[in-house]
Amino acid sequence: MSNPAFRWGVATSAFQIEGAARDDGRGPSIWDTFAQVPGAVANGDTGDVAADHYHRWAEDVRLLVDLGVDAYRFSVSWSRVQPEGRGRIERRGLDFYRRLVESLLDNGIEPFVTLYHWDLPQALEDEGGWRTRSTAGWFADYAALVHDELGDVVRKWTTLNEPYCSAVVGYGEGRHAPGAREGHGSLAAAHHLLLGHGLAVQAMRAGGEPGEFGIVLNQSPAVPVTDSPADVAAATRQDVLLRRQFTDPLFGGAYPDEMTSMFGDISDFSFRHDGDLEVIGQPLDYVGLNYYYRLHVADAPHREPDPAKRTAHDIGVDTTRLPDVPRTGMGWPVEPEGMTVALADLKARHPGLPPVYVTENGCVYPDNADFEDAERIAFLGDHIAAAQAAGVDLRGYFCWSLLDNFEWAHGYKHRFGLVHVDYQTLQRTPRASYHWYRAHIAKARQGS
């Protein structure tokens, strides 16, 4: 990479690393509640301690400095700064993020702040959560609050991380908090997340501090398992659900037409109001794309034949027919070419796409005794090269993740970190991939 402005970074999120769930006035989020539901999270794991980053942040900044990254993407916990999601402000929470940001800047590391990485304050969920239009407005108020506090020191602002997961996995599949399995509610959640994004961008821009505003979207391009019309149509439905439900309104000013035939029997779309698309389609300064794997899609009957009971992720597809390629410890097929497709495809669809960051990419493999994670090194190298081959205006690459962390419904079983965390002692040990990434960054800089 021969661009001196290119950002090499790592990413984390608040709930996955901070712990300190009840410290300094933090209120509960939907993930605190969900983790208490028997069977919801593997092994009964919770975010109570996680990697204890809330107390060990200075040590973690030293790890970032030694790694040589020039950017760090992290998220703010909404319920740490507004325990009820609106109204009352918790100053100690805001002060934590200011200390972190100032330390990053002192060390020449640019903060990339994500405002929402899945941890809705429980008090707002109790009022309907993302199914409810008012949540979009509360989110914009919260974004303006954090921006008012940190706008003098933070330039890169991401509204949402992966709204697909919040809406469809959280309110459709029920595998994520709040654990709902709905049709209309899940589609409404997607719309209100997008609306909240647009309102938040407007509110932050109105704040006056210079800043760059974007959103982060997960991209798993859908590949039909055969070229039969039925499988091709199934792959289109999958792309509409996961990608185009978000990218079309954000960058194209309209929802995909296919949504009417896909969901007309489970939703009347009454949550869409006149003028919403203009709010959602705010011009953005960048888009962050997260890529881990492609989806291989076959046509299949709906799991639930009765539309009244159907959830929004039940779109008549089978995604279990994987190709014969290596898989990560998550079982995800390793296909770096999917990274190239994910980036290039979005640019082809939306030629006016803003500059792109790969805001997450990474993998899980079983550890050996010396933390010599050769498979992760190969994975990262291949995926970085694939991103660079996409022919988009690529401004940076963030590896997921700095530290092992709470992998949502999988609990602590799967480890994405460049740095191993011993969850008994909380000791951090850099893996071989950490040293590889440092060397990779240094070499890339020499070439620039």
In whole angstroms, the minimum distance from the beta carbon of 26 to ligand IFM comes to 19
In whole angstroms, the minimum distance from the beta carbon of 11 to ligand IFM comes to 8
Contacting residue, 18, 60, 162, 182, with ligand IFM by CB under 6 A: 162
Contacting residue, 13, 220, 247, 433, with ligand IFM by CB under 6 A: 13
In whole angstroms, the minimum distance from the beta carbon of 135 to ligand IFM comes to 20
Cβ proximity to ligand IFM: between 200 and 364 the closer is 364
Catalytic residue list contains 360: yes
Those residues with Cβ within 8 angstroms of residue 200's Cβ, 6 or more apart along the chain or in another chain: 115, 139, 140, 143, 144, 159
Cβ proximity to ligand IFM: between 13 and 236 the closer is 13
Q: Does 110 contact ligand IFM by CB under 6 A?
A: no
Cβ proximity to ligand IFM: between 258 and 407 the closer is 407
Q: DSSP class of residue 435?
A: H
Q: Which two tokens stand for residue 91?
A: 């100053």
Cβ proximity to ligand IFM: between 74 and 139 the closer is 74
Specify the DSSP element, H or E, that contains 319. Answer: none
Q: DSSP class of residue 287?
A: E
Q: Are strands 110-116 and 71-75 parallel, antiparallel or unpaired?
A: parallel
Contacting residue, 400, 412, 434, 436, with ligand IFM by CB under 6 A: 400
Q: Does 157 contact ligand IFM by CB under 6 A?
A: no
In whole angstroms, the minimum distance from the beta carbon of 346 to ligand IFM comes to 17
Look-up of token digits 């539901």:
37
Range 211-240, binding ligand IFM (CB under 6 A): none
Determine the Cα–Cα distance for residues 39 and 45; give it in Å rounded to an integer.
Answer: 10
Q: What number of helices (H) and strands (E) belong to the chain?
A: 16, 13
Q: Does 407 contact ligand IFM by CB under 6 A?
A: yes
Q: Which two tokens stand for residue 123?
A: 């008090």
Determine the Cα–Cα distance for residues 34 and 51; give it in Å rounded to an integer.
Answer: 19
Per-residue x/- track, 286-325, ligand IFM (CB under 6 A): ----x-----------------------------------
- Length reported for the chain: 448
Contacting residue, 345, 360, 373, 404, with ligand IFM by CB under 6 A: 360
Q: Which two tokens stand for residue 160?
A: 């949402």
Produce one character per residue of 298-335: b if its CB has 16 or more CB atoms within 10 Å, e if not.
bbbeeeeeeeeebbbbbbbbebeebeeeeebbeebbbb
Identify the bridge partners of residue 286 per DSSP, sorted by sequence position: 214
In whole angstroms, the minimum distance from the beta carbon of 407 to ligand IFM comes to 5
CA distances from 391 to 93, 289, 345 (A): 40, 14, 10
Cβ proximity to ligand IFM: between 145 and 177 the closer is 177
Catalytic residue list contains 162: yes
Cβ proximity to ligand IFM: between 82 and 405 the closer is 405
The dihedral of CA 362, 167, 82, 284: what is its sign? positive
Catalytic-role residue among 110, 162, 182, 335:
162
Residue positions annotated with a catalytic role: 162, 360
Return residues touching ligand IFM (CB under 6 A): 13, 16, 162, 290, 360, 400, 407, 416
